[in-house]
């Protein structure tokens, strides 16, 4: 694994492109500097290599089992999460007040990238805990926070998110779990939750489940849902562990990937004795959860690109070391065979991966940076905060869905580079391919992200977010037009922005006609089109930086590769926007019109 | 499983579109009629449901193991292959002279479809045996055939294909296994073979390995390879089993899919006592093998579409039965939820699968029919035989590579329809997704098929095969133009044929300039482009038949679905040809020019 990570891949994006160190000019992050960030990332990389990657294969073959109602996880997993916590990574994003390190989201995402890429299954336990702590910090009242939040930050307790139920995966309107007030101010929780990652394990002393449930007076549908914290063990006043709560894993999901990660059905209140505490405002549970959900969606994009990066790097190394076949036109078969990276089609599969992976990584880190800049703007009561929030809201479904879908494509290409070897468990690419398939499903499927993008994000503020995005893209176009060789790509991207703008107007026309189904029926190709424009923008940004660097160091192969990959994206990928916008201008209704009994 | 197969899917293609019963007008197939075919297909479907599908999940979770040098397969697998043989399916394609049923390839492929779709892993054992028998029949001399062929036809012995070696997967030029003549006329075989499916098992009394090896006087490279039959047990003069031969499985591959199918490394002559018999002409082994290989490639396409069909049907049934969410614009959340098939994006994922699956199935059956028509033409000394052979040769890499790649897309969409459920082992779609990933790798990867298509098939006879294909397409265009509503699609397909023709000329220009690498560097997008044209042609054929049928039965929902799916292909898929041909006219060299150290 040592040679799989190439630190410059992250450094280039964080510093050369995104100027992450500029965040330290704000009061919020003033205690940090690049040296601190570098040291954290270096520690994360080594820990990922030494403690996370090392058990990924074994854990995949020997997933945790449910025995006598309890789940024990392999020792290597605990050694990894212990080391993660000891090195302060669970405390990364939280203020010092709660025992945190007050790191920018950008850096938290960057170190998460290393752990994910090394072992996505083990990373879920700690990643979810950070997300849960974040939600509690943002929505819990002080008493609940003081009692529980430091445990999550310190990794003494781990967290879970309990949204779905067996009958309702994506649609929360019908969830049935109930919360009944008790005399002591807590709530009796009753119901079953499905798809619960980290549902049980022995990695931490306690587990805090964040559960959506209905209060007795709740409205039907999504407006009658509240959020509760349900600990596995009660917590005594002094912070020590109390009684076992009535929370139990009653079944595990046997999954195609993420096999090292526990995921199952949790029964709350089977014996009528499950106590939980209200978090936030009654009946506002879904909005509290969705606040976290947006970060979780960017996090899913990060998970996807991490798996794709690992696959890309493994396949690249394989292609550089595996002799097979001859150069085309070479007829003397007594000569040595060439490394397969010499074959044009292998290079195509590698450059496609590079384009998807490094473009996606850029987008996800950019989203993380928007979160940081939003926080800084809020601190400063800067009116730009609203704009940053809008931009992030618009990009989130793309960072989730475009990235997860295209990173599956990347893992598919990685396996193809290895051929038959890639299909066996002797190499990690087949596991990465299985793992990454999940990311287009969890935290809202691609179809749901597309509805969110076109139905909610594009329409909000009368199209304000999309206008903001286009204005940002124009800045890059202006910079690119000043640089030799980038002008034609700037023009190409500009033209594709126009196509997306036309597609948007076409969809809005249907919306204004109250043709709501027609408005949204092709939301997925819309997401693909806008996604390709956004990733094209990322690549143009990278090319601007690379070209500038090449002026000083014309032989820098890393930078030459960046420019060449940008060229790949513009020649091979960006034209696809035409195809996706075609079914939107005008709206093509073949799929919508297909009748159920015609299948 | 009972309701997964819909017999009309096959019937429509076999009879309404391909007029398979017309094959019986030839002397070769005169003993059969549609009633015979129907009875065979009905038996196959039931057997597939009752004996093959029933153990697919269990076999996937409990793959065969190598213990003390031997492999025992689950009893359910033997029950299935026994029933396959008892019902005559192993004898299907062979002349009566060898104990066969002399069925057309079209029908053999059609029944294979059912077995594959039910359980691709178990189907490999019997499928390979048929392919091996076919090769022996075509290339063995009479003495060898008389001794071994009836065993394969009767399923007493199973067959394997031993091409690859651990150091050489796709490139056979460097294979090292040797064959040394012995005094008794047999050969001493020494070497290791890799990726051997059906390498060992207890499904049959004997196993006949077909092994590529070098004779002592062999030239280097691909021209010095001969073909040998190496039995697991020697066969005595009277046909009874003799001594155990020096052939041994020394390792198994642990694969992502096809887990029920044994695949491993076979050592020949570890103790210097491995005897084999020459099959065919010395040093012509590769061409003998490649004769079989072309059928194997069409067979791989059939495997791919079978897995995709099963996934499509499972996801369709799920979508019809799973309530979730509301119709867009429905705001009253107290109403019952709708079935997910009501959501436009779910319909999109289903119609995409239908388009890929039923288009692919049509193409593969058409290729099988070309084999039959070729045989009939040879019997009749009809000069058209050469044309049929050319057309089949051209379509084979498309039936293998386009079909396998797009059927992976179909299985991916099937999983997406099921969401989280699709990612678990509770439903077969995740297994089908894992299984089907192999088909783009085996029997020559997609990249190799693309080189074969553009470098060999398109160029042969100065482009004769491509001209034949275009002439066939023109016949369909002419028919479509006569039918109300199909004219615009005919024009669209014609335009895309022109794009492919231009791309072909562009590539040929590079070839004539001796720019061999440039000529072939974008062979994969070329294959995609021509593949989409061919599948567009298939769909237009189906639409012509469906429209004609609708004139008599305007409410036939099956036929309405065919027309609607054709429309999907023309509105959503066919435009992609523009993107793929763009990188060929002129030839775009970003991938070729990418330097190894720029990655």
Q: What is the DSSP string of A331-356?
A: --TTSPPPBGGGSHHHHHHHHHHHHH
Asked if the Cβ–Cβ distance from B599 to A521 is below 8 Å, we say no
State phi, psi for A65 to the nearest 5 degrees: -120, 155
B272 Ramachandran zone, left/alpha/beta (phi>0; psi -120 to 50): left
- Per-residue pLDDT at A169: 67
Q: Which residue of B lies nearest to A594 if distances are taken between CA atoms? A: B564
CA distance B347 to chain A (A): 6
Q: At residue B368, does pLDDT exceed 70?
A: yes
Shortest CB distance from A423 goes to which of B441, B594, B596? B441
Asked if the Cβ–Cβ distance from A329 to B516 is below 8 Å, we say yes
A71 Ramachandran zone, left/alpha/beta (phi>0; psi -120 to 50): beta
Q: How far apart are CA B108 and CA B32, in angstroms?
A: 13
Q: At residue B356, does pLDDT exceed 50?
A: yes
Give the list of residues 6+ apart from residue B549 with CB closer than 8 angstroms, or none. B16, B556, B559
Q: At residue A263, does pLDDT exceed 60?
A: yes
End-to-end alpha-carbon separation of chain A, Å? 47
Q: Mutation test of the interface with chain B: which of A256, A336, A350, choosing the one with the most B Cβ atoms within 10 A? A: A256
| Whether the Cβ atoms of residue A504 and residue A453 lie closer than 8 Å to each other | no
Which residues on chain A are in Cβ contact (under 8 Å) with B423?
255-257, 437-438, 441
Q: How far apart are CA B228 and CA B207, in angstroms?
A: 13
Q: Which residue of A lies nearest to B449 if distances are taken between CA atoms? A: A345
Task: Give the closest residue to A340 by CA, choosing from A323, A352, A316.
Answer: A323
| Whether the Cβ atoms of residue B278 and residue B187 lie closer than 8 Å to each other | yes
Q: Which residue of A lies nearest to B324 if distances are taken between CA atoms? A: A171
Task: Give the catalytic positions of B in this structure.
Answer: 443
Which residues on chain B are in Cβ contact (under 8 Å) with A599?
316, 341, 350-351, 354, 561
Question: For residue B239, what is the DSSP state?
Answer: S
Asked if the Cβ–Cβ distance from B344 to A517 is below 8 Å, we say yes
Q: At residue A1, does pLDDT exceed 60?
A: no
Shortest CB distance from A450 goes to which of B221, B253, B345? B345
Where residue A2 falls among pLDDT bands split at 50, 70, 90?
Answer: very low
ipTM value greater than 0.90: yes
Q: How far apart are CA B399 and CA B405, in angstroms?
A: 10
**What pTM value is reported for the model?**
0.97
Q: At residue A537, does pLDDT exceed 90?
A: yes
Where residue A325 falls among pLDDT bands split at 50, 70, 90?
Answer: confident
Q: At residue B112, does pLDDT exceed 80?
A: yes
State the CB neighbour count (10 A cutoff) for residue A363: 24
Q: Mutation test of the interface with chain A: which of B174, B349, B445, B598, choosing the one with the most A Cβ atoms within 10 A? A: B598
Which residues on chain B are in Cβ contact (under 8 Å) with A415?
437, 441
- List the structure tokens of A313: 């790097």
Which residues on chain B are in Cβ contact (under 8 Å) with A445?
416, 419
State phi, psi for B2 to the nearest 5 degrees: -45, -40
How does pLDDT run across B428-473, given as a tens digit for each residue?
A: 999 999 999 999 999 999 999 999 999 999 999 999 999 999 999 9
Q: How far apart are CA B268 and CA B191, in angstroms?
A: 5
CB pairs under 8 A between A and B: 275
State the CB neighbour count (10 A cutoff) for residue A551: 10
Which residues on chain B are in Cβ contact (under 8 Å) with A588?
571-572
Lowest mean pLDDT among A36-40, A428-432, B63-67: B63-67
Shortest CB distance from A557 goes to which of B345, B579, B597? B597
Average pLDDT taken over every residue of chain B:
96
Asked if the Cβ–Cβ distance from B170 to A419 is below 8 Å, we say yes
Q: Please return the burial class of A209, using the count of CB atoms within 10 Å of its CB with bins 0-12, 13-18 and 19+.
A: buried
Cα separation values, A572 from A399, A405, B578, Å: 21, 17, 11
| Whether the Cβ atoms of residue A353 and residue A309 lie closer than 8 Å to each other | no
B458-497 burial: b if 16+ Cβ within 10 Å, else e: bbeeebbbbebbbebbeebbebbeebeebeebbebbeebb
- List the structure tokens of A203: 């990695």
Asked if the Cβ–Cβ distance from A520 to B328 is below 8 Å, we say yes
> Which residues, listed in sequence order, are joined to residue B263 by a DSSP beta bridge?
B197
How does pLDDT run across B150-189, given as a tens digit for each residue?
A: 999 999 999 999 999 988 767 788 899 999 999 999 999 9
Which residues on chain A are in Cβ contact (under 8 Å) with B255?
423-425, 430
């Amino acid at each position: 694994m040592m040679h799989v990570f190439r630190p410059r891949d992250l450094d280039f994006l964080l510093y050369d492109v995104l100027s992450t160190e500029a965040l330290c000019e704000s009061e919020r992050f003033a205690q940090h500097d690049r040296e601190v960030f570098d040291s954290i990332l270096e520690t994360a990389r080594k820990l990922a290599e030494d403690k996370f990657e090392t058990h990924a294969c074994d854990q995949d073959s020997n997933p945790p089992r449910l025995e006598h109602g309890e789940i024990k996880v392999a020792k290597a997993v605990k050694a990894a999460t212990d080391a993660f916590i000891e090195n302060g990574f669970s405390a990364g994003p939280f203020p010092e007040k709660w025992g945190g390190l007050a790191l920018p989201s950008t850096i938290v995402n960057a170190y998460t990238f290393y752990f994910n890429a090394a072992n996505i299954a083990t990373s879920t336990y700690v990643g979810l805990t950070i997300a849960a702590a974040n939600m509690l910090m943002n929505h819990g009242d002080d008493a609940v926070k003081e009692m529980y939040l430091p445990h999550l930050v310190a990794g003494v307790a781990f967290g879970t998110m309990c949204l779905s139920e067996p009958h309702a995966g994506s649609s929360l309107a019908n969830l049935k779990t109930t919360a009944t007030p008790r005399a002591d101010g807590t709530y009796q929780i009753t119901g079953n939750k499905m798809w619960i990652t980290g549902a049980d394990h022995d990695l931490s002393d306690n587990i805090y489940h964040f559960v959506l449930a209905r209060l007795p007076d709740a409205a039907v549908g999504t407006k009658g849902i509240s959020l509760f914290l349900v600990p596995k063990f009660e917590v005594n006043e002094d912070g020590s562990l109390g009684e076992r709560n009535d929370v139990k894993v009653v079944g595990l999901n046997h999954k195609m990937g993420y096999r090292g990660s526990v995921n199952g059905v949790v029964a709350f209140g089977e014996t009528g004795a499950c106590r939980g505490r209200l978090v936030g405002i009654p009946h506002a549970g879904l909005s509290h959860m969705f606040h976290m959900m947006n970060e979780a969606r960017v996090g899913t994009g990060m998970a996807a690109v991490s798996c794709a990066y690992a696959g890309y790097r493994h396949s690249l190394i394989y292609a550089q070391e595996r002799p097979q076949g001859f150069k085309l036109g070479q007829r003397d078969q007594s000569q040595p065979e060439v490394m397969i990276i010499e074959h044009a089609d292998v290079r195509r599969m590698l450059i496609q991966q590079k384009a998807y992976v490094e473009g996606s990584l850029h987008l996800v880190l950019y989203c993380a940076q928007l979160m940081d800049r939003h926080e800084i703007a809020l601190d400063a009561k800067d009116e730009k905060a609203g704009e940053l929030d809008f931009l992030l809201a618009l990009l989130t479904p793309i960072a989730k869905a475009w990235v997860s879908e295209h990173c599956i494509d990347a893992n598919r290409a990685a396996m193809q580079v290895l051929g038959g070897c890639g299909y066996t468990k002797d190499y990690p690419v087949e596991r990465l391919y299985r793992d990454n398939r999940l990311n287009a499903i969890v935290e809202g499927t691609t179809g749901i992200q597309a509805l969110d993008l076109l139905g909610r994000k594009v329409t909000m503020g009368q199209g304000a977010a999309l206008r903001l995005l286009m204005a940002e893209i124009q800045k890059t176009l202006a910079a690119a037009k000043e640089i030799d060789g980038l002008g034609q790509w700037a023009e190409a991207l500009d033209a594709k922005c126009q196509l997306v703008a036309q597609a948007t107007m076409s969809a809005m026309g249907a919306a204004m006609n109250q043709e709501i189904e027609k408005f949204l029926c092709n939301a997925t190709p819309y997401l693909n089109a806008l996604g390709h424009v956004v990733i094209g923008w990322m690549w143009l940004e990278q090319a601007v930086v690379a070209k500038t660097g090449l002026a000083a160091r014309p032989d820098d192969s890393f930078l030459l590769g960046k420019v060449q990959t940008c060229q790949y994206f513009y020649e091979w990928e960006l034209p696809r926007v035409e195809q996706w916008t075609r079914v939107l201008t005008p709206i093509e209704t073949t799929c919508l019109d297909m009748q159920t009994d015609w299948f």
